Structure 1
Amino acid sequence: MALLAEGANLPLTGTAVTATVSGPVDVTALVVSADGKVAGDADMVFFNQPTAPGVRLDGRTLAMELTGLRPGAEKVVLVASPETAGATFAGVSVSLTLQHGGEAITITPSRLGVETVAVLAEVYQRGGAWKVRAVGQGYDSGLAGLAGDFGVDVDDPGAPATPVGPGPAAAPPTAPSPAPVPSGISFTKGEEKLPVDMRKKLTLRKQQVALVLTKHRMTGLRCRVVVVMDVSGSTGGLYRKGVFSRAVERVAPVAAQVDDGAEMQAWAMGAEARRLEDITIGTLPQWLERYTAKRYSDAGGWNNEKATIEDVARYVREEPLDIPTLVLFFHDGGVTDNKGTERALRAVEAAPVFWQFVGLGRSNYGILQRLDTLQGRSIDNTGFFALDDIDEVSDSELYERILAEFPAWMRAYYPAGHPALAGLS
């Protein structure tokens, strides 16, 4: 039996798939199209509406025949919510076992607590093949909040009744309705939780990201995004001025456009490499307050680029995806070990990772300034640019600089026909 960690995926054998959830929960399935939305309320399968084309719910078991899904369906989202009305996942143990082609996959979410509903996994189509991805993403707004993200109109009196047993929490009455989504820009899970001003900026910035993706012929790009923040002692002033906070907020729309979960993994680079909590759109304000309101001091006060590069590369190796990883590495300058940093980057040349370094400190960037001219590499896996003042750079220019070299690396790294290139024209 294979164990699948959050964020990881595996190919499925055959199209007859059975998913059984253990624990005191109710199970729901959402059948969605390529835009991440249901086609109608009939695409929501739960105990009051236990069947849809290709999907049948029996207790806590979902039987799926993927060839029988409605036309245009590309994903089945598997959801659990506590049986007790208003209860959270605190103290609740939940796991999902997925059977396919005589094989079994187990998914056990590790980070659920105050949430009242959770996406356990997604069964999705990529490049003509079906796969399963472990998600483990929770919502504290109940099934109604999650359903709204996927386009289910839970307030429509003509819609099927939503589950009463698991108690969908009504959306807070003060929460503003999502703004109309521009053409080509999808609604991002969790953005309804953002303050109005931050949500408006997110929408506009996603437009700018989309324009850059279109310019570089990669409108369907899918990749994992990792953020690394320099937290060495010299960065204290930049954190106090909000520079790192604004930098992270401005790159979050990149993940919103290219990451299926609209999230970023995060590291702090000091004397040690420290993995931080993942960044999601819905929790972005809280994340920024926790990690960028002041310098994160638990990683030590000097730069150890080598350790951080090695730690991120280890994570990518241990949590493989069929898509590349884009690392956005914010650095204030003063590289401690130029030779060690160069060796670390050369050592991960064969990994499916592009390292985009961004200078923020008007300082000596050492080896980082020479990354584009390093000799003896079969492929250029690095980029660097410095911003004297990030607030003086427009969103369109920032995203152009971040993404300009990435598509060329992808086309050089992956062989023709590889699934990762499916979003590039």
Structure 2
Amino acid sequence: MGNLIDLTKKARIQLEKNQLTDVKAEIVFVVDTSYSMQHLYNNGTVQELVDRLLGIGMNMDVNGSIDVFSFSDRAREVGKADERNHTNYVKDNRIITNGGTKYAPVMRLILDKYGPAKKSFFNGLFGSKNKKQEIPTFVFFITDGDNDDKSEAEKLIKEASKQPIFWQFVGIGNTSFSFLQQLDTMSGRFLDNANFFQVDDISAITDDELYKRLLNEFPDWLQQAKNKGILS
């Protein structure tokens, strides 16, 4: 728990620098489980990422947690990681590597869960107005390679550009991430809803530097989303 306390403090420093301390969001961690990621599970890097991202979640998430999703050829919602269960989260939830790399299935899960379509139905039932626009979703999407379903993923990012969802893509390794670079700069979106950066070894980056990079573009998106009426 001591380590999580330290991470939470470090994350808060970067949130303060970006004037995000009063912002609440759904914090989502999407992690690649394709076979090529196996060494990052074996050496503890993915478990460390759960802990490091939970440092942001403890400060920023509406529930003080992070929602974890995994993907390879298929996708699944793993569940919440929080201060009570984070220590052996990867092992306890049997997050294992297999298969290839497809982005679209997990993107669809996220749009279905956090997008406004379903929420607006229940808001209408209970007479609430524009409730869906109050809380953004901040997705940290970690992968070690480009995907096999580029056209489907591109369509979903365009669809998501009209929703209160921001995607922070992180490429791990020295391979090419041309598609993620394309998503970062592509035209045809209602709002620029994605950012991308690449690191050879994410475990070698200090916590302060990692938080700085992860939070770099979110404040600008947040303001633009408010300006365009996506968020209240």
One-letter amino acid of the counterpart of residue 61, structure 2: D
For 2:59, the equivalent position in structure 1 comes to 257
Secondary structure of the residue that 1:386 maps to in structure 2?
Answer: strand
Moved more, 234-243 or 200-209: 200-209
Shift of residue 246 of structure 1?
1.2
Secondary structure of the residue that 2:114 maps to in structure 1?
Answer: helix
Secondary structure of the residue that 1:359 maps to in structure 2?
Answer: strand
Q: Does 1:248 align with 2:50?
A: yes
Which structure has more relative contact order (CA 8 Å, sep 6+)? It is: 2
- Note if contact 1:355-1:382 (Cα within 8 Å) is conserved in structure 2: yes
Gaps spanning 5+ residues in structure 1: where?
1-198
Q: Does 1:355 align with 2:167?
A: yes
- Note if contact 1:328-1:357 (Cα within 8 Å) is conserved in structure 2: yes
- Kindly report which structure 2 residues correspond to 1:24-35, keeping only aligned pairs within 5 A, or say none: none
One-letter amino acid of the counterpart of residue 227, structure 1: F
- Note if contact 1:341-1:367 (Cα within 8 Å) is conserved in structure 2: no
Shift of residue 391 of structure 1?
2.2
User: In the alignment, which of 277, 294, 297 is matched to residue 79 of structure 2?
Assistant: 277
Could you state the TM-score of these two structures normalised by the residue count of structure 1? 0.48
The 3 A distance-change label for structure 1 pair 347 and 417 is closer
One-letter amino acid of the counterpart of residue 165, structure 2: V
For 2:146, the equivalent position in structure 1 comes to 334
- In structure 2, what is the Cα distance between the partners aligned to 1:232 and 1:308? 13
Show structure 1 runs of 4+ deviating over 4 A. Answer: none
User: In the alignment, which of 282, 302, 310 is matched to residue 108 of structure 2?
Assistant: 310
For 1:393, the equivalent position in structure 2 comes to 205
- Kindly report which structure 2 residues correspond to 1:367-382, keeping only aligned pairs within 5 A, or say none: 367-382=179-194
Shift of residue 337 of structure 1?
2.3
Shift of residue 339 of structure 1?
2.5
For 1:325, the equivalent position in structure 2 comes to 137
Secondary structure of the residue that 1:311 maps to in structure 2?
Answer: helix
- Note if contact 1:335-1:366 (Cα within 8 Å) is conserved in structure 2: no
For 1:409, the equivalent position in structure 2 comes to 221
Shift of residue 267 of structure 1?
0.8
Secondary structure of the residue that 1:284 maps to in structure 2?
Answer: coil
Secondary structure of the residue that 1:227 maps to in structure 2?
Answer: strand
- Note if contact 1:333-1:362 (Cα within 8 Å) is conserved in structure 2: no
Shift of residue 233 of structure 1?
1.5
CA RMSD of aligned residues (A): 2.1
Secondary structure of the residue that 1:362 maps to in structure 2?
Answer: coil
Question: If each structure's helix is expressed as a fraction of its own residues, which one has the higher value?
Answer: 2
- In structure 2, what is the Cα distance between the partners aligned to 1:281 and 1:321? 28
Secondary structure of the residue that 1:333 maps to in structure 2?
Answer: coil
The 3 A distance-change label for structure 1 pair 365 and 417 is closer
Secondary structure of the residue that 1:357 maps to in structure 2?
Answer: strand
- Kindly report which structure 2 residues correspond to 1:147-162, keeping only aligned pairs within 5 A, or say none: none
- Note if contact 2:47-2:88 (Cα within 8 Å) is conserved in structure 1: no
Shift of residue 415 of structure 1?
3.8
- In structure 2, what is the Cα distance between the partners aligned to 1:220 and 1:354? 17
Gaps spanning 5+ residues in structure 2: where?
120-131
- Note if contact 1:338-1:366 (Cα within 8 Å) is conserved in structure 2: no
From the CA coordinates, give the structure whose radius of gyration is larger.
1
One-letter amino acid of the counterpart of residue 232, structure 1: S
Over residues 106-137 of structure 1, what are the superposed CA-to-partner deviations in whole Å (9 max), with x where a residue is unaligned?
xxxxxxxxxxxxxxxxxxxxxxxxxxxxxxxx
Q: Does 1:223 align with 2:25?
A: yes
